[in-house]
A and B are shown apart, each in its own frame.
Chain A
Amino acid sequence: MAKTDLQGTVDLLVLKTLAQTGELHGYGIVLHIQTASDELLRVEEGSLYPALHRMEQNGWISASWALTETNRRAKYYKLTAAGRKHLQEVEKNFEQLVKGVRAMLRYA
């Protein structure tokens, strides 16, 4: 069975965001998830940061300090090669989870 949990889901959202946008700070990631999901997904904003830190430690994303368009210092994250590979994996796992859950629901 595919190993999927809630944590994995946050990882998936963050990695996917970075894959779509290239380089982004934490706040930007929150905004992107909100917009891209048609306001359906809303994470507690702070809870994003432990996940970001962990993914950075795992070498999936890398971070650097830069200025925002409003001239504010912020930590920008971008995907590494290892992260891109990992994203493919989580995406696949998630597809399977969805498929499985859907099959469950359709079961009569």
Chain B
Amino acid sequence: MSIFRRISNLFSRGNLEREIQDELRSHLDMRTEENISAGMTLEQARRDALLRFGNPAVMQEKIVAEDAALTLESFFADVRYALRQLLRNRGFAAVAILTLSLGIGATTGIFSILNAWIIQPLPLKNPQQLVIFWRAAADVPNEPAYYFSWRDYLYFRERSHSFQSLGASFERGYTLTGSGEPASLHGGIASNSLFNTLGVTAFRGRLFLDDDNTGPPVAVISYALWTQRFHQSMSVLGESLTLNEKPFKVVGILPPGFSYRVLDQPHDIDVWTLIQAGDPQYKQDSVTAVAIIGRLNQGVTIAQAKPEIALLQAENDRHYPDIPKSTAYLSSLQQDNTREVRASLLVLGGAVGLLLLIACTNTASLIVGRNIQREKEFAIRAALGSSARRLLIQLLVENLVLYGISGALGLLIAFASVRGFVAWNPFGSLPAQPITVSLPVLAVAALLTVASGLIFGAYPAFRASRLNVNQALRSSSSGASAATGKLRSRNIIVLTQIALSVILLIGASLLLTTFLRLNSQPLGFNPADTHVINLALPHKRYSSDTQLTQFADRLSERLRALPGVDSVGMSYFLRLSDAGTDPFQIESRADLTAEHLPQATPITVGPGYFQAMGIATVAGRDFADSDVQATRPVAVINEEAVQRYFAGKNPIGEHIRIGDPKDPETQKNPWLEVVGIVASTKSTRYNQIAWESRPEVYTDYQQQQIHQYFANSDYTTMFFVVRTQPGVALGDAAIQKTIWSQDPNLPVGAVKSLGEMVAGLQTQPRIRARLLTVFAGLTLLLAAIGIYGVMAQSVAQRYREIGIRMALGADRQSVLALVLKQGITLTLAGVVLGTVLGLIAVRFMKTLLYGVTSTNPATYVGVAAVVCLVALVASFLPARRAASINPVRSLRTE
């Protein structure tokens, strides 16, 4: 192939030139020889030979010019020239490269993160066929609100035709004992069809078989657990593991890349066990919650499967009217895994895209500006014989070098930002697959770099190539008429930048307002100065209500005795989000039918709980030590329940009973007398940012049969809220010591504060507000630089014109006004454009807002004011310089 030969010539330039020289010399020699034999003298012969031949040096050039190699070599010359140019204009190069590499780096980084979460398919067989089933609340149809129950799973499995197979699973905390240190494991319990449905096969050993759930208990462990705990020893297969004090035989190890998560779980499961056939929690009509996953039949879509499941659900629910109203909601497993982070990631992606756009336009504006300054240089070079094509190529090469360096630097930034993100882990969970700077993302970034280099490089180069040499040389750099026209392209760029930063600022300020509103929302409890301890008391040692109550009393007393402790409260239930509800009856309202039964979250608490939580008692009384098993059972309800179910009437003295009247179990529950009303506390729902008050019924810990609530578990969970005096730091260690003084074998998890729990619920809004504010700030800064650059350049080019104006009597004020006017006009146009585009853009983020509408006028006015102020400052500096021009000197220059 001739092209290869030409390119290879490039690397053997020395040889080639020598060969050409030899050849030409041999030609001249042969001609000389012949001339001599024809009778000429040596001198004559040589002269004649050269005459006939032409200039050998020129010939040699011409021969080499036949080579593609020459073009390539001139390309390298251009690159060297471009590097020299950049070195000479260090300020320009630094700003341009920094801006661009930040833009490219941030974009590549963010999109790599986005890619791992949203675009990359899950590492399972045909993951697009995997669907997860939820119940959604009637008012929020596209968010999971409840799990389905085991009985729903059995019903669907028997009747559904859209799925090849269904699997059920649920999380189960396991404590591993017996071999080495006891460890707390992320456990899972599954139907034996789960792994088949997921399409996974064992890495070693085997997974669950069809009859495993009737034999002795077996377990399958994750690759991670096998590596960390068992050091990849094969002897673990067949070994017995003691989980929650029961033996399980390990039969298999899952493959290394396997990941199956439900509902944004931050971790993969370490150890899987089976739902046993005789398990009382998993009987034909058990309401035990399970995550149902299905593999769609070939060619069936989620949309097609949904009506069938909805129908089956309605059919099955008809037999059990006590469950809260809900609709079936199917989502792909992939979407299920990214529900909480999706909105944040997309906002982030949009913001970073705009940032890249601004970075590119800023650099373009810099390049255009610089090339305007260099027009004379181009004109001279054109006059000296540089062809238009040559100038164009050279300018393009210069831009490519600039963008190439920035691209390389940007990639480094991308790698760093991905690493930083993983270390920071702001969402509290990482995607199932590790985040890497992926090849397609890398390719897109590279393409973006080169394309923007060519596009933004081409325009100035095109301009330069069309330059009229005469005109360019004649017009002085301060010629007024030419300057305005040249600035138009930069004006458009600056206008775009202002518009883009207005869009981002609008978004950022809406999200920030949202976050502030969420944060300033009175929650009904006081999150400051608290410690929350969650304990799991094993049934084996705490087998009666009396034992539990005694433990709670003793520990509360000890905690209260700690220095600086203000109050201590105990509760069997403490959640700030997704608290389920139970139906309850009101004795005086026998007219309420099953469908209209009041719903409330039942919470059993000890005395002092309201005080420790900072929940105000509005009317009546708190629980007291005198409320015991022998006395009349009492209840405290919150204001939300009063409003909803007692129509604002005083409920004190009314009788209520928790449970559905049709359920025979309800008869065992006592009628409770309402003795007090407390303030409503706010909580959230899964993947919803809004705080809302939900009806609650509090009962007394001494009057409730706690044990039966936890019958399905191996543990009873208990929460202690410790409120300290303001400013007192109570160490976690002191709390641990106090607990162990009561029971040395109780595992004590992390001690949290209510403040941390509240902050945890606002992770997404907080991150969105923070990141978008940072991006908006950056873009505003870039836009300010852009305005300043254009104004400064404009003043420099109108140097002479301004001088003449001043000589003719214009005072400083009017010159100042003249320049400022230009900047303000530009800014206002940008603000108007940005506001219009912003109004369109924020329509996509309505669901992310709370306490502020997407068209909140104050936001738009505020953003416009901020942008105008920044633009005013940015154009004031050049304006002041214009006003201080010395007219005499300006007229003398040139």
Question: Which of B27-35, B254-262, B320-328, B532-540 lines the interface with chain A?
Answer: B27-35
Q: Which residues of B contact A85 (CB under 8 A)?
A: none
Known: A57-B6, A58-B2. A49 touches B59 (CB 8 A): yes
Assess whether B65 is in contact with A45, with CB atoms less than 8 Å apart.
no
Interface contact A45-B31, CB-CB below 8 Å: yes
Residue A20, interface by CB 8 Å: no
Whether a CB of chain B sits under 8 angstroms from the CB of A106 is: no
Q: Which residues on B sit within 8 Å (CB–CB) of A57?
A: 2, 5-6, 9, 66-67
Total contacting residues, chain A, CB less than 8 A: 20
Closest-by-CB residue of B relative to A73 is B26
Residues on the B chain within 8 Å of A47, using CB: 54, 59, 62
Which A residues touch B30, using CB under 8 A? Answer: 25, 27, 68, 70, 72, 74
Contact between chains at A46 and B56 (CB < 8 Å): yes
The yes or no answer to A54 lying at the interface (CB within 8 A) is yes
Please, which residues of chain B bring their CB within 8 A of the CB of A45? 27, 31, 52-54
Q: How far is the CB of A26 from chain B (nearest CB, A)?
A: 5
Report the separation of the CA atoms of residues A25 and B28 in the bound assembly, to the nearest whole angstrom: 12
Q: In the complex, A54 Cα to B56 Cα: how many Å?
A: 17
Any chain A CB within 8 A of the CB of B811?
A: no
With A46-B54, A46-B59, A49-B63 in contact, is A59–B29 under 8 Å at CB? no
Q: How far apart are the CA atoms of A25 and B19 in the complex, in Å?
A: 14
Taking CB atoms and an 8 Å cut-off, the chain A residues in 46-84 that contact chain B are: 46-47, 49-50, 53-54, 57-59, 68, 70, 72-75
Complex: A30 Cα to B20 Cα, angstroms: 17
B22 touches A (CB below 8 Å): yes
Is B55 on the interface with A (CB-CB < 8 A)?
Answer: yes
Let me know if A44 and B52 touch, CB within 8 A.
yes
Interface centre among A25, A46, A58 (most CB of B within 10 A): A46
Q: Which of A49, A70, A73, A74 has a CB less than 8 Å from the CB of B20?
A: A49
Q: Is the CB of B27 within 8 A of A27?
A: yes
Chain B residues within 8 Å of A54, by CB: 66
- Quick one: given A50-B66, A57-B67, are A74 and B52 in contact (CB under 8 Å)? no
Contact among A25, A53, A72 with B66 in the assembled complex (CB-CB below 8 Å): A53
Contact B52 A27, beta carbon cutoff 8 Å: no
Is B706 in the interface zone, CB < 8 Å from A? Answer: no
Closest to A44 in B: B54
**Which listed residue (A44, A59, A74) contacts B26, Cβ 8 A?**
A74
| Given contact pairs A53-B63, A53-B66, A57-B6, A46 touches B24 in the complex (Cβ within 8 A) | yes
Are the C-beta atoms of B31 and A27 separated by less than 8 Å? Answer: yes
A residues near B31, Cβ cutoff 8 Å: 27, 45
Q: How far is the CA of A78 from the CA of B20 in the complex (A)?
A: 17
Query: B576 to chain A: closest CB distance in Å?
Result: 78
CB distance from B45 to the nearest CB of A (A): 14
Task: Tell me the bound Cα distance from A57 to B66 in angstroms.
Answer: 9
A72 touches B55 (CB 8 A): no
Question: Counting CB contacts under 8 A, is B578 at the interface?
Answer: no
On chain A, the residues within 8 Å of B29 by CB distance are 72
Assembled-state Cα–Cα distance A49/B59 (Å): 7
Q: Given A45-B52, A46-B59, A59-B2, do A53 and B20 touch, yes or no (CB 8 Å)? A: yes
Interface residue B23 (Cβ < 8 Å from any Cβ of A): yes
- The residue from A26, A44, A58 contacting B27, defined by CB atoms under 8 A apart: A26
- Tell me the bound Cα distance from A47 to B26 in angstroms: 15
B65: nearest chain-A partner, CB-CB? A50
A46–B25 CA distance with the chains assembled, in angstroms: 11
Report how far A26 CA is from B63 CA in the complex, Å: 13
| Residues of chain A lying within 8 A (CB to CB) of residue B2 | 57-59
Instruction: Find out whether the CB atom of B66 lies under 8 angstroms from the CB atom of A75.
Output: no
Q: Mark A12-32, 1 if CB is under 8 A from B, else 0.
A: 000000000000011100000
* Chain B nearest CB, measured from A39 CB (Å): 14
Verify A70–B33 contact, CB threshold 8 A: yes
The residue on A at minimum CB distance from B26 is: A74
By the criterion CB–CB under 8 Å, are B55 and A25 in contact? no
Residues of chain B lying within 8 A (CB to CB) of residue A25: 26-27, 30
- Give complex CA distance A27, B62 in Å: 18
Collect the chain A residues with CB atoms within 8 Å of residue B22's CB.
Answer: 73, 75
Q: How distant is the Cα of A72 from the Cα of B6 in the complex, in angstroms?
A: 28
Residues of B within 8 A of A73 (CB): 22, 26
Q: A27-B30, A46-B58, A70-B30 are in contact. List 11 more A-B contacts (CB 8 A).
A: A26-B27, A27-B27, A45-B31, A46-B24, A46-B56, A50-B65, A53-B63, A57-B9, A57-B67, A59-B5, A75-B23
Q: Write 21 A-B pairs (CB below 8 A) sorted by A numbering.
A: A25-B26, A25-B27, A25-B30, A26-B27, A45-B27, A45-B52, A45-B54, A46-B55, A46-B56, A46-B58, A47-B54, A49-B24, A50-B59, A50-B66, A53-B20, A53-B67, A58-B2, A59-B5, A73-B26, A74-B23, A74-B26
Sort A-B residue pairs by CB-CB distance and give the 4 closest, nearest first: A46-B54, A46-B59, A54-B66, A46-B53
